[in-house]
Structure 1
Amino acid sequence: MIKRWITTAALIIITIYLIPYSLPFLLALITAIMLENSVKWFMMRFKWTRFRAVLATFLLYLLFIALFVWFIVNLFIDQVVTLAQKAPSFANDFYKESLKDFFDQSGRYFKSLPPDVFQSFETTIENTLQSVTSMLQGVVEWLIGLAAAIPGFLIEFLVYLIAVFLFSLELSRLRIKTERHLREATKEKLYLITAQLNRAGIGFIKAQIFLSIVTFLMAFIGLSILKVPYAMLLSILIVFVDILPILGTGSVLVPWAIICFFQENQFLGFGLIVLFIIITVVRRILEPKVFSSNMGISPLAALISLFIGFKLLGFIGFFVGPAIVIVYDTLREAGIIKSRWKI
């Protein structure tokens, strides 16, 4: 018994150690499992062999990725290039209309202050500028690192795609080989857990896509009403930062609104604040309901798990929190965890 437990613990430790290096293969296995229903549909509908069904499903998956990347890249190249051409004139106008007047008025005010107070303010400004410079240097270094990591990412992505195809081909055999080492009771529980997690994983993706579409539509309609140029590009940016709980829509809309107030464009400033409030309120109302209906947990459990997961683990906890609740509910339904205690 002790030898068995030691072997199990050693396998768990080795698996945890290898997970970072096996990430493309783990993602490929998860993708293959998610595509399995499409493979079965082709096999049943057209009486195809598994190879032909897997090939058709894989090609459709590649087509979806290619269309998505083409749309994003085409949109960014079109609007980002245009924005880059107009950026110098925008910065010049912003300096003349907002910052110059602000600095002139501030300079006249601070000249009337005592020398010590003025020197203290100067020191604060210098420290702030140094912090901003360091931050910008960090951003530049991050961008350089990101550019340097692109070749490695492309290689890992190619490995991932090949692994998806091979896992899809071997999935039925892997299932048969795994079942040989399982008792009937364990097999039933494993099928229940796998089905629940698969449904929850697909449900999470569907919920996130739905919320992103809602956020994009609200942002695009709001920016169009406010007659903001590059509304589609900015809406995609808002959706991207809204997916990340660390940032949220406020990291784009609130600073933008403050800049508008500096430029004495109160209409756009108030409009952006109202848009931020609407997006935040609607998303927070929809989020628990959408996640609960797609992932099979109650709205309250979804809200609590999302919040606590984010507080404890940051962005990763946004995914881990609901996953723990789903795993617990699944294990309880399978009879692995029994909670019949009373006080």
Structure 2
Amino acid sequence: MWKKWVFASVIIIGIFFLIPYSLPIIFAFLTACLLEGSVSWLVKKWNFSRLQAVISVFTGYVLAMSVLGYYLILLIVQQTITLSEKTPTFVKDLYTTAIRPLIRRWEFYSKDLPVDVMKSIEVAIENTITSIDVFLQGLMQNIVNLVTAVPGFLIEFLIYLIALFLISLELPRLKASLEAHLKEQTKRKVYLVANQLNKAGIGFLKAQVILSILTFIMAFVGLSILGAPYTALLSLLIVIVDILPILGTGSVLVPWAVFAILQNNTFLGIGLIILFIVITVVRRIIEPKVYSTSLGISPLAALVSLYIGFKLIGLLGIIIGPAIVIIYDTLKKANIIKVNFKV
């Protein structure tokens, strides 16, 4: 008996070791499972062969992803390059138009302070601005380097597409091979757990996509109305920081609004604050409904798992945290985990 447990432990450890090197294959398998419903529908409804159904669904998936990805990446890359060219002068312009006049006004109201103190404060602020300038230039250089890494990504993406096509063709055989090693009772539990996890996993991705698209649309429309530059790039940035439970849209919009007001651009500053309020209120109204409908777990459980996962292991915890809650809830529904006690 112990040999079986040792063998199973070795397999599990080996799988975890290989996961970082097999991400394209893993994503291909997950995508194939998501597309399997469409493939089965074509086979049953229109009497397609397995090969015809897989080719049809695979082609439609690739075309949709290519069109969407092309326009989105093209827009973001163009705005990133333009922004990287203007970054070296951005901070200094901000200092000249906003911070320096503020210092002058403060000097006017602080005439009683010694001149040396005022000069020290100004030098400290200038050094801070220079540091921020260097940081932003480095950040934009990293973004440009990320863009230059596209060829390597394309190779990984090609492997992903080939694996997706082959796994979609072989999925019924893989399923039959797995069933051959399972007892009937174990098979029922595995299918119950797999169906629950599949439903919850799709629901989690669906919830994130819905909320991200909604945030992107509101940010893009709002920034366009305000006449802000780089609307697509900034809207994407807002979506990214909004996913993080520690940050949120306020970490981008509120400082930006303050700087705009300091630069005497009251219209943009107030508009950004209103946009922040609108995005926050709309998300808080819709978020509980989206999570409860898509995930099947309470919004509180989703929020706590996101926060704790992020605090423990960083960005990866945003996915792993809710996944653990979903797996626990699924195993509980399948009576694999039983919690029945009284204190």
In the superposition, the TM-score normalised over structure 1's length comes to 0.86
* 1: CA distance, partners of 2:80 / 2:151: 23
* 2: CA distance, partners of 1:285 / 1:111: 50
Call closer, same or farther: CA 1:43–1:191 in 2, change over 3 Å.
Answer: same
- Using the TM superposition, give the Cα deviation of residue 136 of structure 1 relative to its aligned residue in structure 2, in angstroms: 3.4
Identify unmatched segments of 5+ residues in structure 2: none
**How big is the alpha-carbon RMSD for the aligned residues of Structure 1 and Structure 2?**
3.2
* 2: CA distance, partners of 1:79 / 1:308: 34
1:199-225 C-alpha deviation (Å, 9 max, x unpaired)? 112112221222123223332443355
Partner residue in 2 for 1:341: 341
On the 8 A contact 1:28/1:163 being kept in 2, the answer is yes
Partner residue in 2 for 1:32: 32
Between 269-278 and 150-159, the greater mean CA deviation after superposition: 269-278
* 2: CA distance, partners of 1:166 / 1:3: 34
Call closer, same or farther: CA 1:155–1:316 in 2, change over 3 Å.
Answer: same
- State the AA in 1 paired with 2:253: L
Identify unmatched segments of 5+ residues in structure 1: none
On the 8 A contact 2:245/2:306 being kept in 1, the answer is no
Partner residue in 1 for 2:186: 186
On the 8 A contact 1:288/1:303 being kept in 2, the answer is no
Q: Does 1:216 align with 2:234?
A: no
Partner residue in 2 for 1:281: 281
- Using the TM superposition, give the Cα deviation of residue 86 of structure 1 relative to its aligned residue in structure 2, in angstroms: 8.9
- Using the TM superposition, give the Cα deviation of residue 247 of structure 1 relative to its aligned residue in structure 2, in angstroms: 4.1
Q: Does 1:253 align with 2:245?
A: no
Partner residue in 2 for 1:161: 161
- Using the TM superposition, give the Cα deviation of residue 191 of structure 1 relative to its aligned residue in structure 2, in angstroms: 0.8
Partner residue in 2 for 1:269: 269
1:26-51 C-alpha deviation (Å, 9 max, x unpaired)? 11100000000011011112211101
3-state SS of paired residue (1:273): helix
3-state SS of paired residue (1:168): helix
Between the aligned residues of both structures, percent identity stands at: 54
Call closer, same or farther: CA 1:82–1:339 in 2, change over 3 Å.
Answer: closer
3-state SS of paired residue (1:260): helix
- State the AA in 1 paired with 2:202: I
3-state SS of paired residue (1:29): helix
3-state SS of paired residue (2:337): coil
- Using the TM superposition, give the Cα deviation of residue 81 of structure 1 relative to its aligned residue in structure 2, in angstroms: 7.6
- State the AA in 1 paired with 2:336: I
Partner residue in 2 for 1:239: 239
Partner residue in 2 for 1:301: 301
Partner residue in 2 for 1:314: 314
On the 8 A contact 2:92/2:129 being kept in 1, the answer is no
* 1: CA distance, partners of 2:117 / 2:330: 64
Call closer, same or farther: CA 1:142–1:89 in 2, change over 3 Å.
Answer: closer
- Using the TM superposition, give the Cα deviation of residue 299 of structure 1 relative to its aligned residue in structure 2, in angstroms: 2.8
Aligned residues between the structures: 343
Call closer, same or farther: CA 1:140–1:200 in 2, change over 3 Å.
Answer: same
* 2: CA distance, partners of 1:313 / 1:92: 36
* 2: CA distance, partners of 1:339 / 1:87: 56
* 2: CA distance, partners of 1:118 / 1:103: 9
* 1: CA distance, partners of 2:286 / 2:88: 40
3-state SS of paired residue (1:342): coil
- Using the TM superposition, give the Cα deviation of residue 129 of structure 1 relative to its aligned residue in structure 2, in angstroms: 4.4
- Using the TM superposition, give the Cα deviation of residue 327 of structure 1 relative to its aligned residue in structure 2, in angstroms: 0.8
Between 51-60 and 135-144, the greater mean CA deviation after superposition: 135-144
